[in-house]
Structure 1
């Protein structure tokens, strides 16, 4: 099992650095264009590798770590939560594209399960963090609870906007980017950049920076699509 752990650790590092290097390209390139789609798939591939490997490594560490090693236990549980957050967000960002033509409430069990898993893992990890008095594990999972709730609400209601899937795709993938950067800052940043890793601001910096980007995209494209719709109505 240790051999598989070492293989997945290498896969995790490769996938993580790949995602970290290319995540910004789909953000700044033309939406739906060739570069956006091709690099987007590279990013998703990297995040799939990160999510699966992190999930396994987290549980491996939990079952192979000494009981009194609270630091490794908490690290492992947070690693598992990040894997769920990144995996569920990337999955959501892809699935909303596949379901762009839906006109009623969504009932796909797997799609709903990912959102529910994100909510439940956020609650569970948050409670664990509170019991061991670790701020990162207590408060950061709130992001998963919020995102999972938003995703679940989207699936369970009838679409009210013509381009609803477009906005959900952007928010889902940017949420995945938040997980990518946060994981780097929490796990890799302190070692590679020689910075303190226990700053709450550091943990929430990706959320603080990318949330306005999500809002900005929503406002911009709402105006853009509304303008196109007005032009089409006038033409008719």
Structure 2
């Protein structure tokens, strides 16, 4: 087995863990426990996905240069959301939601695009649309989630800027 093949296998396994833990974290009750554990594993597996994607893209630059930039961009969302929670500065929850769900859109997009032909036939849409569909659907859902937590309107933005709801 070549180094590239080993990286690919590790990338796929980490990606599957990322997808599963992201889904668990999205649907888990937002408190310490399942949500935070799944979120930590999600972030750790996202690091593995990004590192392997960067390595594979460098190894086969002429074929996979696009993967380098996608890995940087999508992991930036995950890191942004992860650090927002860890640092808990003003409006941290809004930043956490944007970053984590934005990165989750990246994971879903990757899964759909990699399995493009089968997925596009199954749901009856052109395969190129799979690059955009998760963002088209996910972006309004992020906005709705932010609004549901009372973080969308400027009057309400300050209400949950820290874990106890008080301003820093």
What TM bracket, shorter-length normalisation?
A: 0.7 to 0.9
1:86 corresponds to 2:74:
yes
**CA apart distance, 1:33:** 2.9
Deviations 1:166-203 (A, max 9, x none): 11001100111111011111123436x47499633221
**CA apart distance, 1:4:** 2.7
Contact conserved, 1:82 with 1:183, CA < 8 A, in 2?
no
Alignment of 1:127-138 (within 5 A): none
Distance 1:24 1:17 in 2: 11
Q: Secondary structure at the match of 1:167?
A: helix
**CA apart distance, 1:223:** 6.5
**CA apart distance, 1:98:** 2.7
Structure-2-length-normalised TM-score: 0.79
Distance 2:6 2:12 in 1: 10
1:222 corresponds to 2:150:
yes
- Give the gaps of 5 or more residues in structure 1: 63-72, 102-161, 230-236
Contact conserved, 1:182 with 1:206, CA < 8 A, in 2?
yes
Alignment correspondent of 2:99 = 172
Alignment of 1:64-75 (within 5 A): 73=62, 75=63
Distance 2:79 2:141 in 1: 20
Runs of 4+ in 1 over 4 A off after TM superposition: 223-226
Alignment correspondent of 2:54 = 55
Describe the shift of the 1:212–1:27 C-alpha distance in structure 2 as closer, same or farther (beyond 3 A): same
Q: How many residues align?
A: 154
Alignment correspondent of 1:137 = none
**CA apart distance, 1:22:** 2.8
Alignment correspondent of 2:139 = 211
Alignment correspondent of 1:182 = 109
**CA apart distance, 1:95:** 1.3
Deviations 1:92-136 (A, max 9, x none): 1111123224xxxxxxxxxxxxxxxxxxxxxxxxxxxxxxxxxxx
Distance 1:207 1:223 in 2: 21
**CA apart distance, 1:26:** 1.2
Q: Secondary structure at the match of 1:222?
A: coil
Contact conserved, 2:116 with 2:127, CA < 8 A, in 1?
no
- Give the gaps of 5 or more residues in structure 2: 160-168
Deviations 1:45-65 (A, max 9, x none): 221111100111011012xxx
Contact conserved, 2:120 with 2:126, CA < 8 A, in 1?
no
**Structure of higher CA gyration radius:** 1
